[in-house]
Structure 1
């Protein structure tokens, strides 16, 4: 099931030229509509509350209030808000905090137009989105986890049902709710119910954390 159209996007970046460029790229896709623009974190919090956009595309480094602090504030008010964090080369050190803060996606500002549009659509559909470079960084981090982290992840999923294990494995593989529903021959509302249960039982705050738990616990799909 595709996302509700149009996919409204709030652009957050302190550079007006970057906002204009991002807006032009996204608006070239008929499914996407620019709902508003913010030049700092405080303005982003205000507009996110007022406009209720489908996706928030947010820069990390901004004056007054940075993107990660704004992300945490927005999700404190709107737990279901979907945010894609924009980073530049060399800012991978912010990934951990962004994941913990509840970001649904991480893209480099140097990403190509199709990659950026794909990330926004994926997040609107309920999936996670990582640029290839950032995905590699996350995978390398997961591969380097110690036995204690693996054990903690396995404990976190002990209470999951067999079906929830299947759903979590597909989340770890990067599938959206719609794709999981098609794979398991379920309706999307049922998948959403399983995701809610998985997050409650595992302690995952968002889809990216759920995927990392799947990786750490060694849950994979066939």
Structure 2
């Protein structure tokens, strides 16, 4: 996506007041345009296909079809769609399902406006986005994974080239393709090529899963608080 092209966002939430608040926050950023709004998962699937938004800001608990079910349906049709899950619920069951379902990020509705806007831009640019609370939970979980899972992750990482491991380490630090390109003095197209190879070799659906494998495989060390 060009730096001059606004990020188009599809808002998905069954609460009209929440949508109004999100609309106000997003409208304050000239780099974001609201492509449309949906009040449930069924409507979200319809609008996602018709509007082709840059990012879908997806609530979880909604009538008819919840946000995670809608996300899975949308990604089944258009795998490259970027979904940023937004919810008031921080239970691990939702985090796990969102991550395994292909979400590019997971933000809590308690996040500040600047944090949310930053996450939308990060996801649009190809980076992963996790709110600090969610990131701490994920990192704590990584610290507690079993030895077999760690061994599998290390084996996957070992199968990467040296350059691919360098790129993956930066993905684990939540850098976008543009930021990785600048850090490694590469073209953005080259980084995208490396990312395609990395996801294929790791068997990861997106950058969030790749980042978790980077932690599990020891390429990125979680910082203790």
TM-score above 0.5: yes
Q: Indicate yes or no: 2:143 matched with 1:143.
A: yes
Q: Indicate yes or no: 2:40 matched with 1:30.
A: no
Aligned residue for 2:112? 112
**Unmatched runs of 5 consecutive residues or more in structure 2:** none
Residue 87 of structure 1 deviates from its aligned partner by 1.7
Aligned residue for 2:174? 174
Distance 2:160 2:116 in 1: 34
Residue 154 of structure 1 deviates from its aligned partner by 1.3
**Unmatched runs of 5 consecutive residues or more in structure 1:** none
Deviation digits for residues 113-145 of structure 1 (CA, Å, limit 9, x no counterpart):
101100101101100111110011101010101
Aligned residue for 2:21? 21
Residue 206 of structure 1 deviates from its aligned partner by 0.6
- TM-score (structure 1 length as normaliser): 0.96
Equivalence map 1:48-59=2 (5 Å): 48-59=48-59
> What's the secondary structure of 1:157's corresponding residue?
helix
Distance 1:2 1:106 in 2: 24
Most deviating of 88-97 and 180-189: 88-97
Residue 147 of structure 1 deviates from its aligned partner by 0.7
Residue 158 of structure 1 deviates from its aligned partner by 2.7
Verify the 8 A CA contact 2:86 2:109 in the aligned structure 1: yes
Residues 126 and 82 of structure 1: CA distance in aligned 2, closer, same or farther (over 3 Å): same
Q: How many residues end up aligned between the 2 structures? A: 221
Aligned residue for 1:125? 125
Distance 2:136 2:68 in 1: 21
Equivalence map 1:53-68=2 (5 Å): 53-68=53-68
Verify the 8 A CA contact 1:177 1:192 in the aligned structure 2: yes
Deviation digits for residues 166-202 of structure 1 (CA, Å, limit 9, x no counterpart):
0001101111111000000001011010000001011
Distance 2:4 2:217 in 1: 33
Most deviating of 60-69 and 81-90: 81-90
Verify the 8 A CA contact 1:9 1:55 in the aligned structure 2: yes
Deviation digits for residues 89-114 of structure 1 (CA, Å, limit 9, x no counterpart):
44342111111110001110111110
Distance 1:213 1:90 in 2: 22
Aligned residue for 1:12? 12
Aligned residue for 2:160? 160
- TM-score (structure 2 length as normaliser): 0.95
Residue 146 of structure 1 deviates from its aligned partner by 1.1
Most deviating of 90-99 and 65-74: 90-99
Distance 2:150 2:14 in 1: 39
Residue 5 of structure 1 deviates from its aligned partner by 1.5
Distance 2:206 2:186 in 1: 21
